[in-house]
């Protein structure tokens, strides 16, 4: 029996079918059968001879995929676990190989270079065929990046019972490609520091749900953990400790680890706000540095913003951004631009003097300041990314290719689109992982987090990326991401606060919106347990009793 | 300069003093000086010769305390960390020993046996003297349990900088004892399973904040992970897996691990509700087992309650409780009694038949059922503990010594006290660690957790244990606890969801209410970082920038 990829039909079947496949994100076009199929003991993934000069990162991806097939040990989430499948397995055929090949005429570049292409130029499509008759499985794509996505899918097809690795849904045919080109995850490493090993674990998790963009909010007012060639004083004076610095070598390590896993790294140096820490080494560039009471000068402590009226500060900023941009091969670079506090500049004598001297307003100065930075970045080959205020509040002159991150509210998406800018969904009311965990400013006994309540996976999963947009405006939506601001996070809770929740946006922006949320939980359980097998400390979304009985804990059950 | 333990004065001083001591809970009577004092390289904790037959668990506690002084490596949370103290340390005297002794006439029993005494008979008081002049420090108490509490305090007095372990607040004189005899932490191991190693880590954390009661909600409707001698079928059929069972040996291991750390284990076998899983081995005892739709038969899936009208079921229950009680030396035993669903019994033909035959109402049957269980437990030497419905909703006949856990709302405390029952604060509106994390029942796209919002540490810390109680009623308050229900918890988030939050009730019920919440955060940071040094994955409560600058991130700063 074959079933189609039509989602309503799929949903209907899932409620009858005890078996659920463990794919996440759900491929956009899939047909499956109902035959059991086992991997042979010597099962191997190989790259076809027709792929000339297969790159090292593809070979390594194949090696990891081969190893995971042996180490995942994911049992089926049903009562009795794998026992339920013993009968079917006794008659199962055996699969002994998967062969990867590129479409005719395609050239084998590294996964890394394919992943680091401009966001809309990346080709992540693939076709995966797993016959039920024991003949070899095939994975084809136009790019090594597509092959990598297909490998991740292949790795999710299998359950284990005893020493048998198997599927009960062969034959499987998948033709897949993402609905949106940008599927991200943002981590703030400035409020609290995360060692490289934790970032790599986060990248692993991202890659296993086909996230293709790591948005690294690497520095902020609280600390400057990035070693920038030519600006070593920033981290020397501004990191929390010398052991809490990302060296240029660390950055290269993270970037290449991500690249080999199909992920581009979008770095953010937030300007002109969120820069207090620069005052530690360059007091001349920062207005209202650590001014008190902080709440009148900034949205969070410590206060401090770049003196955007100063030519020296403007040049310093442009030079810094360009120096940082050289560490990151991505074609995008975020200059931030959120939460600029006007009072900070109102109270800064130097800024006021400059404004008076030139007759400029604060907004005119911000416009000039930003244009210098963006021009320098453009010269360095980068497309600027900004937070929504730059478009909606400050009306800064921005190049038409500028990409906007909508964070304050999903209600602001329409206004950004109306201005004609490409945009990334990152709204706090759907995608902030830190909401609902209690306020963190001190002497605030009754404070809950500003963006209460907690954003459940169901909430982000049910987001509509094109709500209130015209068809033309909808084309401006590049995708979206979950975000973790780390005022109350550290390696201690990085995994449980993120996973499997952040996988909900990964599927939303890969598979597309409109899935039936009531039926996806069993697949999300499978993903969560598989991530655990691979070292990600995901939380359980339900008691195991429920996870073993798809649907039994539904409100209507 | 000496400062007294008057809390308002202390608060005032803390706001001037950069240094904050790292004690948690705050001792009830403390004076400190402002001299630096270093531990000598050969520093040792010893038990005075006058302590005859010092028990093994005291020797082991001393050994652990000695080791922690070397391994904690907690730097002071100020800008520049230990560097700020270099001047003071250059002139510091050296402390070379701490001597433990019992008050004259006291006998050295094991910590374990002292910890397992009836709740109001435990003696946790101690006196700790750390002179500034280099002469030996002393710790005295009436019991080994008091010595253990004092050892924990001593272990929190020290910071490390380079290879120097030191205090900057000598001399230190502490005379301490708890405000409330019951300070607990509850863990549910039935919704999701926790290996013994995780439970032991939780016990470690409890012991370091002087929690003296581990309330182990060990089984529930979803799984029965407890191996009970004489009732092996319950775990064989009812555990999630054979690897997810606490054997009698595991229980003994947990109980003695806790006992050696001054913690008694209160086990709970919830009856007659929350027992669905018993139907796996004893379908005859369970009404409405896994009946659907579950929401009409139970507060959570799966439905199922003991057939309290059946003599066989009543006897089975009493026998089971007694068999379990033999595994746990505590003088208390919780029979639960929450969330009994009347409809389950209304729809159960056997229950209705029995009620009709005897002319009893459901509440009369519940009364008889409970009396049989409680009489059997009393015979086994146990004081029953029940959830509040047994007192407030079902008006069950309970022995006057019965202890009530108030969970539904802190507003119910007064009513329980009016009925004259001793009570433990466990209210969901203050102490539930799982609130605010999203709903877990399936097919519920908009669901947040029923007890939203998240209960911040500030919320529980500001709880008033005697609100709305007369002076006589206030005497019924034994203490309180945080609780973790684990529908969405596992070893992955056990630590970050619990710590340091659960320490707030530990201090509330040790030190007593009414502390100035605005000034405690620096101490809580110290505790959190020390727990991290000891392997507990606590979350940061603020950006490190704030933790290093006490008060700087206060709303008013």
Q: What is the pLDDT of residues A296-354, one digit of tens each?
A: 999 999 999 999 999 999 999 999 999 999 999 999 999 999 999 999 999 999 999 99
Distance, CA of B364 to CA of B370 (rounded, Å): 10
| Percent of chain B's residues with pLDDT above 70 | 96
- Identify the pLDDT of residue B380: 98
A342, A302 contact by CB (below 8 A): no
| Residue A13 confidence (pLDDT) | 39
Q: In angstroms, rounded to a whole number, what is the distance separating the alpha carbons of residues A524 and A506?
A: 12
Of B112, B141, B120, B121, residue with least CA distance to B129: B141
Cβ atoms < 10 Å from Cβ of A315? 13
Tell me the three state secondary structure of residue A10. helix
Summarised one tens digit per residue, pLDDT across range B518-546 is 789 999 999 999 999 999 999 999 999 99
Query: How far is A100 from chain B, CA to nearest CA, in Å?
Result: 36
Is the CB of A546 inside 8 Å of chain B's CB atoms? yes
Q: Does B553 touch chain A (CB under 8 A)?
A: yes
Rounded alpha-carbon distances, angstroms, from residue A338 to A204, A220, A323, A386, A478: 29, 12, 22, 8, 20
ipTM reported for the complex surpasses 0.90 = yes
pLDDT tens per residue across span B329-340: 999 999 999 999
In terms of DSSP bridges, do strands B30-47 and A422-425 run parallel, antiparallel, or are they unpaired? Answer: unpaired
DSSP strands (E only) in A338-408: 383-387, 403-406
B chain contacts of residue A554, beta-carbon cutoff 8 Å = 441-444
Of B127, B115, B235, which Cα lies nearest the Cα of B181?
B115
Give the chain B residue nearest A546 (alpha carbons). B301
Quote the CA–CA distance of A282 and A279 in Å, as a whole number. Answer: 5
Categorize the per-residue pLDDT at A69 as very low, low, confident or very high, splitting at 50, 70 and 90. very high
Q: Do B494 and B202 form a contact (C-beta atoms < 8 A)?
A: yes
Q: Where are the alpha helices (DSSP H) in A494-553?
A: 494-498, 503-511, 521-533, 544-547
- Residue B445's pLDDT is 75
CA dist A309 → A279, A353, A399 (Å): 16, 9, 21
Do the Cβ atoms of B224 and B173 come closer than 8 Å? Answer: no
| Measured CA distances, B36 to A291, B22, B33, B97, B134 (Å) | 33, 15, 9, 16, 11
In sequence order, the β-bridge partners of residue B24 are none
Q: Which of A453, A488, A540, A547 to mutate to test the interface with B (most CBs of B within 10 A)?
A: A540
- Cβ count within 10 A of residue A311: 12
Residue A25: helix, strand or coil by DSSP? coil
Is some CB atom of chain B closer than 8 A to the CB atom of A159?
no
Contact A443 B518 (CB under 8 A): yes
Q: Does B457 touch chain A (CB under 8 A)?
A: yes
Q: Are B548 and B75 in contact (CB under 8 A)?
A: no
pLDDT at B8: 36
Asked if B27 and B163 count as a contact pair (C-beta separation under 8 A), the reply is no
pLDDT in tens, A120-129: 999 999 999 9
Handedness of CA A543, A549, A551, A557 (dihedral sign): negative
Å from B303 to nearest chain A CA?
11
Q: Closest CB to A222: pick one of B439, B490, B545.
A: B545
pTM of the model: 0.95
Q: Taking 70 as the threshold, does the pLDDT of residue B4 lie above it?
A: no
Q: How far, in whole angstroms, is CA A97 from its chain's centroid?
A: 31
- H-type helices in B260-332, by residue range? 311-325
Q: A441 CB contacts (<8 Å, ≥6 apart)?
A: A300, A301, A447, B542, B553, B554, B555
Phi, psi of B482 (to 5 degrees): -85, 160
- The pLDDT value recorded for residue B76 is 94
Q: Which residues 73-92 in chain B show a CB within 8 A of chain A?
A: none
Closest residue of chain B to A192, computed from CA coordinates: B543
**Residue A296 in contact with partner chain B when CB distance is under 8 A:** no
Please tell me the distance from the alpha carbon of residue A494 to that of residue A488, in angstroms, as a whole number: 10
**Across B83-94, average pLDDT:** 93
Give residue B427's pLDDT: 98
DSSP category for residue B539: P
Q: Is B120 on the interface with A (CB under 8 A)?
A: no
Residues of chain B neighbouring A540 (CB-CB closer than 8 A):
192, 487-490, 492
- Residues of chain B with Cβ-Cβ distance to A192 below 8 Å are 540, 543-544
End-to-end CA distance of chain A: 27
pLDDT reading at A543 higher than 90:
yes
Flag if B442 and A488 touch (Cβ within 8 Å): no
Picking from B191, B493, B532, the nearest residue to A539 by CB comes out as B493
Residue B556 forms contact with A (CB below 8 Å): yes
CB A438 within 8 A of CB A419: no
Contacting residues of A for B453, CB less than 8 Å apart:
436, 448, 452-453
User: Angle A121-A261-A138 (CA atoms, 0-180°, nearest 5)?
Assistant: 80
Nearest to residue B406, comparing CAs of B382, B430, B383, B384? B430
Calculate mean pLDDT across residues A213-231. Answer: 98
C-alpha span between A86 and A211 (Å, rounded): 35
Q: Does B551 touch chain A (CB under 8 A)?
A: yes
Local structure of A377: helix, strand or coil: helix
Tens digit of pLDDT for each residue in A14-32? 433 434 589 999 999 999 9
Angle ∠(A126,A127,A133) on CA atoms, nearest 5? 150
> What tokens appear for A380 in the block?
């360095």
Is cis: bond before B302, omega within 30 of 0?
yes
Pairing type for strands B403-406 and B383-387 reads parallel
Closest CA relative to residue A390, chosen from A403, A377, A409: A403
Token output for A320: 């810094």
Instruction: Report the residue count for chain B.
Output: 557
Contact indicator for B373, B358 with CB cutoff of 8 Å: no
Q: How many alpha carbons fall within 13 Å on the CB side of residue A134? A: 5
Q: Exposed, middle or buried, A138 (CB in 10 Å: 0-12/13-18/19+)?
A: middle
Domains, chain B: 7-176 (3.30.379.10), 182-512 (3.20.20.80)
List Cβ neighbours of A163 (8 Å cut-off, separation of 6 or more). Answer: none
Task: Print burial letters for A157-189: b (CB count within 10 Å at least 16), e (below 16).
Answer: bbbbbeebbbbbbbbbbbebbbbbbbbbbbbbb
For residue B268, give the H/E element and its range: strand B264-268
Q: Does residue B3 register a pLDDT over 60?
A: no
Q: What's the rounded mean pLDDT across residues A506-527?
A: 93
Length reported for chain A: 557
Dump the DSSP string for A437-483: S---SBS-TT---TT-S---HHHHHT--TTTT--HHHHTTEEEEEEE
Residues B30 and B128: their CA atoms lie apart, in Å, by 9
pLDDT of B272 > 70? The answer is yes
Question: Across A121-272, where does the E strand assignment appear?
Answer: 126-130, 137-141, 159-161, 164-176, 182-188, 213-217, 264-268
pLDDT digits (tens, 9 = 90+) for A361-385: 999 999 999 999 999 999 999 999 9
A318 close to A372: Cβ distance less than 8 angstroms: yes
Tell me which residues of B are annotated as active site.
339
- What is the reported pLDDT for B30? 95
8 A C-beta contact, residue A225 and residue A245 = yes
Cβ-defined contact of B240 to A544 (cutoff 8 Å): yes
pLDDT at A262: 98
Chain B within 8 Å of A462 (Cβ-Cβ)? yes
Question: Using CA atoms, how far apart are residues A338 and B187, in angstroms rounded to an integer?
Answer: 42
Q: Could you identify the residue written with the tokens 């059991």?
A: A36
Q: Among B64, A447, B356, which residue's Cα sits nearest to residue B365?
A: B356
Rg (CA), chain A: 25
The CA-CA-CA angle for residues B412, B207, B138, to 5°, reads 120
Chain A segment 187-226 residues within 8 A of B by beta carbon are 190-193, 221-223
Cα end-to-end distance, chain B, whole Å: 27
**Is the model's pLDDT at A242 over the cut of 80?**
yes
**Coil, helix or strand at residue B104:** coil
Torsion of CA B62, B65, B71, B76, to 10 degrees: -150
Beta bridge partners of B424: B405, B479
Mean of per-residue pLDDT scores for chain A? 94
Q: What is the mean pLDDT of residues B295-321?
A: 97
Q: Determine the distance from the C-alpha atom of residue B536 to the mean position of all C-alpha atoms in its chain, rounded to a whole number.
A: 15
List of chain A residues whose C-beta atoms are within 8 Å of the C-beta of residue B440? 541-543, 546, 553
Q: What is the DSSP letter of B38?
A: E
Q: How confident is the model at residue B448 (pLDDT cuts 50, 70, 90)?
A: confident
* pLDDT band of A236, cuts 50, 70, 90: very high
The answer to whether the beta carbons of residues A125 and A71 sit under 8 Å apart is: no
Is A454 an interface residue toward B (CB < 8 Å)?
yes
For residue A262, give every residue at least 6 positions away whose Cβ sits within 8 Å of its Cβ, in sequence order, or none.
A111, A114, A115, A124, A145, A148, A149, A207, A210, A212
d(CA A496, CA B146): 37
């Amino acid at each position: 029996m074959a079933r189609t990829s039509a989602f309503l039909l799929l949903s209907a079947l899932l409620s009858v079918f005890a078996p659920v496949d463990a794919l996440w994100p759900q491929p956009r076009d899939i047909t499956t059968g109902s035959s059991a199929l086992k991997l042979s003991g010597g099962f191997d993934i190989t790259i076809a001879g027709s792929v000339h000069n297969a790159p090292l990162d593809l070979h390594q991806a194949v090696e990891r995929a081969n190893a995971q097939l042996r180490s995942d040990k994911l049992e089926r989430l049903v009562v009795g676990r794998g026992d339920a499948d013993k009968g079917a397995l006794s008659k199962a055929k055996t699969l002994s190989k998967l062969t990867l090949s590129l479409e005719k005429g395609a050239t084998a570049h590294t996964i890394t270079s394919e992943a680091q292409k401009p966001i809309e130029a990346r080709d992540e499509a693939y076709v995966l065929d797993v016959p039920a008759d024991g003949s070899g499985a095939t994975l084809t794509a136009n790019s090594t990046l597509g092959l990598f996505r297909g490998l991740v899918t292949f790795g999710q097809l299998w359950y284990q019972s005893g020493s048998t690795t198997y599927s009960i849904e062969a034959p499987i045919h998948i033709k897949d490609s993402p609905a949106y080109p940008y599927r991200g995850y943002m981590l703030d490493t400035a409020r609290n520091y995360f060692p490289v090993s934790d970032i790599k674990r986060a990248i692993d998790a991202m890659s296993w749900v086909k996230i293709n963009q790591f948005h690294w909010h690497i520095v902020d007012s609280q600390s400057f953990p990035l070693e920038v060639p030519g600006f070593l004083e920033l981290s020397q004076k501004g990191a929390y400790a010398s052991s809490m610095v990302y060296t240029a070598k660390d950055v290269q390590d993270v970037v290449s680890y991500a690249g080999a896993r199909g992920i581009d790294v979008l770095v953010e140096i937030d300007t002109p706000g969120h820069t207090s820490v620069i005052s530690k080494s360059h007091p001349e560039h920062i207005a209202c540095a650590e001014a008190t009471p902080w709440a009148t000068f900034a949205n969070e402590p410590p206060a401090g913003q770049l003196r955007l009226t100063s030519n020296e500060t403007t040049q310093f900023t442009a030079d810094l951004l360009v120096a940082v941009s050289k560490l990151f091969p991505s074609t995008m670079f975020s200059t931030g631009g959120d939460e600029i506090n006007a009072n900070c500049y109102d109270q800064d004598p130097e800024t006021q003097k400059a404004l008076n001297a030139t007759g400029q307003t604060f907004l005119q100065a911000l416009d000039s300041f930003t244009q210098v930075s963006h021009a320098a970045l453009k010269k360095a080959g980068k497309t600027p990314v900004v937070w929504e205020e730059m478009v909606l509040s400050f009306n800064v002159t921005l190049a038409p290719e500028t990409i906007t991150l909508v964070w304050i509210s999903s209600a602001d998406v329409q206004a950004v689109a109306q201005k004609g800018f490409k945009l990334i969904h990152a709204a706090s009311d759907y995608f902030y992982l830190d909401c609902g965990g209690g306020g963190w400013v001190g002497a605030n006994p009754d404070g809950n987090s500003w963006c209460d309540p907690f954003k459940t996976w169901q909430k982000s999963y049910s987001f509509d990326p094109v709500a209130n947009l015209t068809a033309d405006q909808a084309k401006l939506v590049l995708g979206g991401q979950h975000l973790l601001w780390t005022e109350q996070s550290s390696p201690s809770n990085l995994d449980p606060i993120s996973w499997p929740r952040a996988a909900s946006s990964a599927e939303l922006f890969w598979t597309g919106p409109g899935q039936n949320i009531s039926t996806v939980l069993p697949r999300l359980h499978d993903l969560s347990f598989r991530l655990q097998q691979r070292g990600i400390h995901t939380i359980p979304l339900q008691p195991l009793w429920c996870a073993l009985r798809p649907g039994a804990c539904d409100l209507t059950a």
